[in-house]
Amino acid sequence: MEKTLAILYATSEGQTKKIADHIADQLHRYNYDVHKLKGKSVFTDFDLKAYEGAIIGVPVHRGEYPGYMKKLIRHYRDELHQMPSAFFSVSLTEAEEDEMKRQEIQQIINRFLSDVDWHPTVIASFAGAVPFSRYGFIKKLIMRSIMRRRVGEVDVSKDYEYTDWVSVDEFVDQFESHLAVARAAGEQRHPSAP
């Protein structure tokens, strides 16, 4: 039986895509064929049932996730509940040491998952990045101001990445263990003919 997984993601400056790419590379170690799709390009006739499991990754901006990802998850909710599924959130706030801020992100995640009525097998939150090189003039000024308040003076000619890749790998390992359990249970229910 072919081991195929879907990774559906939203991205604005590219960090969520970079994390999705890394997750796909790690899943290849477990011999999974991984199909990555940008959430905006997933059509309603996309067949999620063709996959053994799914991962959805979404960035948080100003305390919100993109509305189209909410619609996508609601549309595929039944399929997601019938397979191992995982959710990862990406935000700059996750990089902060402030426990109150991290609790706010957890509340945003909980509210989002409750709103779409989805119960993923594995949930994680990763710190994002500040890619000044991808920003226009106005956004660069806004992000410089935000970064000054958080970490002090920053060099806007550089990009800053805060993603903890070890945590991303742990997320992959945790999800793969759920996939292995589901696969073993499926093989017991449907043993192959000798």
Is residue 145 located within the same domain as residue 180? no
Given this model, what pLDDT does residue 194 score? 46
Residues 122 and 139 placed together within one structural domain of the fold: no
Do the domain assignments include residue 12?
yes
> How many independent structural domains does the chain possess?
2
Q: What is the CATH number of the domain that holds 106?
A: 3.40.50.360
Radius of gyration of the chain (CA): 18
Q: Quick one: pLDDT at residue 97?
A: 75
Bridge partners, residue 54, by sequence:
6, 85
Looking at the structure, tell me whether residues 158 and 180 fall in a common domain: no
pTM exceeds cut of 0.95? no
Range of the domain at 33: 4-128+163-189
Answer yes or no: do 87 and 177 share one domain: yes
67 and 147, same domain (yes or no): no
Picking from 65, 139, 79, the residue whose alpha carbon sits closest to that of residue 107 is 65
Name the stretches of the chain with pLDDT < 50: 1, 193-194
Sequence-ordered list of residues with C-beta below 8 angstroms from that of 5, at least 6 positions apart, any chain: 27, 32, 33, 34, 35, 51, 52, 53, 54, 55, 179
Residues 123 and 191: their CA atoms lie apart, in Å, by 31
81 and 109 part of one domain: yes
pLDDT at residue 164, as a whole number: 94
Q: Are 47 and 106 in the same domain?
A: yes
